[in-house]
Amino acid sequence: MAILHINEQEFEKEVLKSEKPVLLDFFATWCGPCKMLGQVLEQLQEEQTDYKIVKVDIDENPELTRTWNVTTVPSLFFLKDGEVKDSAIGFLPKPVLEQKLKAL
């Protein structure tokens, strides 16, 4: 499954009502650490099917960005059954992401 790039209209269905755990990434196209993280997320997505990775562009979705109080990118949220179980700000290496996802 490919990484989903979603907007505000798709958010509830793809994130809050997802049957699988979700790694939610708020990012910006101009953000260097976001680009580095994007490469790691691509690797993770290719290697598994137990969770889904969803990306939200903060510049294209300002209301969603405000609702989630995102002030720094990348901002990551780890959700299960529509609830935030963990979160992180900034670039995280692949082993740390894998550990957080396994904890879901």
pLDDT digits over 7-56, tens only?
999 999 999 999 999 999 999 999 999 999 999 999 999 998 899 999 99
Q: Which is the catalytic residue, given 34, 54, 73, 76? A: 34
Specify the number of domains making up the chain: 1
Q: Which domain holds residue 20?
A: 4-102
**Cα–Cα distance between 57 and 4 in angstroms, integer?**
11
**Confidence band for 2, pLDDT divided at 50, 70 and 90:** confident
- Confirm whether 44 is a catalytic residue: no
pLDDT of residue 1: 64
The rounded radius of gyration (Å) of the Cα atoms in the chain is: 12
pLDDT of residue 71: 95
Q: Which is the catalytic residue, given 31, 41, 56, 97? A: 31
Q: Residue 95 is part of a domain; what is its CATH number?
A: 3.40.30.10
Q: What is the pTM of this model?
A: 0.94
The alpha helices in 48-86, defined as continuous H runs, are: 62-67
Average pLDDT over all residues of the chain: 95
**How do 22-27 and 52-57 pair as beta strands?**
parallel
Q: For the residues 64-90, what does the mean pLDDT come to? A: 96
**Cα–Cα distance between 11 and 77 in angstroms, integer?**
13
The helix/strand/coil state of 53 is strand
- Confirm whether 95 is a catalytic residue: no
